[in-house]
Every structure is written in structure tokens, then in C-alpha cells.
Amino acid sequence: MFLRKNRRLIDGETYEYWTLCESVRTERGPRQRVVATLGKLDEDDLRAGWDQIEALLDGRQPGPRQPNLPNGIPGAPPQPGAWELADLSRIEVGRVREFGSVFLGLALWRRLGPHQLLDSLIAPGREEVAWADVAAVLTVGKFCGEASELGIAESWYARTALEDIAGIPADAVNDDRLCRALDKVGAHKDRLCEHLMKKYESWFGVNF
């Protein structure tokens, strides 16, 4: 899979967004298929994209999507993309964010299922972000090599695409919340270890 940057011109205003694509083989040769639409989009784009990325994170096959057809005519061929000339000397890159490693880390977290266990063990209170979600940020940060909670809060999280993937605003990820999450999760360390060992046994057929 790979990321592609896209632009759309709507009412004279240019909107930019990313799509997660994959190469597929067809009778006419290799083709590229959009798996999910990423970024801050309008409601139609969100419905078309984020439901797909949720399935990918959980290890489920994304469901079929009905493409928008011109003039609402079923079976009408899609319009070919237009080519644009670009002045390379004036191209700038902005808000570059890490995607691949955090997506992989979060996908592993979701497939192992500790968030479901934590949701059942930690009673909800007045917190703005669920403790299981904060634990996911901590785990993915460690998975990506970030050594400290302070580093995750002050610099690492904002450099990644987790804000869009996990839906947790960057200003909600602070060292105080991360440290409190460690206490909340640490209280259930034995249950988490037991859960992960059972997952390991079921995946690899190993008994401990």
C-alpha cells in the first residue's frame, strides 16, 4: 500500500487530502484501488473513507462501496483524471506526518484487543478521552521508539497521523494524562498479561 496526495477544486477553492491506495491485478493489467480516504474532508468523504480504515485497523475486509457515478446513471464509466502542469520550484511540503509505523502499531493494538479488555475493567468517569484510547497512544508511541511520556506529549504525537486515525486531538495528549493512564492500566497488569498470552497461544498454537 502507499499514500497519494489529492487535490479537489470546489467552488473555486482547492482542498487537499490523502488516499491510502493499493495495487491490484486485473484482466487489463495492474491497477490502483483506493482503500481509504484520509485527512480532514467533508461529510461525504468521511463516510467513504474512515469506515474503510476502521475495518483495516481491526483486520476486517473493507466492505464494498458504491462509487459516485456521473449524472447518477448506474453503470456509467468514471471520468478520467485530468493532468496538471506543476512548477516544481514552487512546490512546498507542509504538515508532513508519520503514517506507516503508527498505522501498523495501532492495527496490532486493535487486533490484540487490549482496548476491549480495558474498557471492561476501567469504569468510565468524567475523563474526556477514554483510558483505553490513551493507553493505545502510549503503546503505539513505545512501539515507534519514543522513550518517554513527555516526548510523546510534547513532540512525537503531533508529528504523526494518529490525531486523524485515532481521533484524539493533539492538545488532549499531555504528559499528565499519559502518566495517569499508566496508573490506570498498571492496576490491571496481570489481566492484560493473561489476555495477551491467550492471544499468543491462539495465534501461534503455543501453550505456556
Output the DSSP codes for 108-172. HHHHH-HHHHHHHHS---S-SS-HHHHHHHHHHHHHTT---HHHIIIIIHHHBSHHHHH---GGG
What tens digit of pLDDT does each residue of 18-38 get? 777 777 778 877 777 777 766
Asked whether residue 113 falls in the same domain as residue 180, the answer is yes
Which of the residue ranges 59-63, 151-155, 173-177 would you say has the lowest mean pLDDT?
59-63
Asked whether residue 189 falls in the same domain as residue 107, the answer is yes
Asked whether residue 155 carries a pLDDT value surpassing 50, the answer given is: yes
Q: Domain limits at 119? A: 100-204
Strand order in the sheet with 29-38: 2-10, 13-26, 29-38
Asked whether residue 50 falls in the same domain as residue 110, the answer is no
Asked whether residue 169 falls in the same domain as residue 104, the answer is yes
- The reported pLDDT for the residue numbered 57 is 73
Asked whether residue 71 carries a pLDDT value surpassing 50, the answer given is: no
Asked whether residue 119 falls in the same domain as residue 196, the answer is yes
User: pLDDT class for 149, splitting at 50, 70, 90?
Assistant: very high
Contacts of 172 (CB under 8 A, 6+ apart): 128, 129
Asked whether residue 142 falls in the same domain as residue 49, the answer is no
127 domain-assigned: yes
43 domain-assigned: yes
How many structural domains are present in the chain? 2
Asked whether residue 112 falls in the same domain as residue 171, the answer is yes
89 domain-assigned: no
Choice between 7 and 1, residue whose per-residue pLDDT is larger? 7
49: enclosing H helix or E strand: helix 43-57
Q: What is the mean pLDDT of the chain?
A: 79
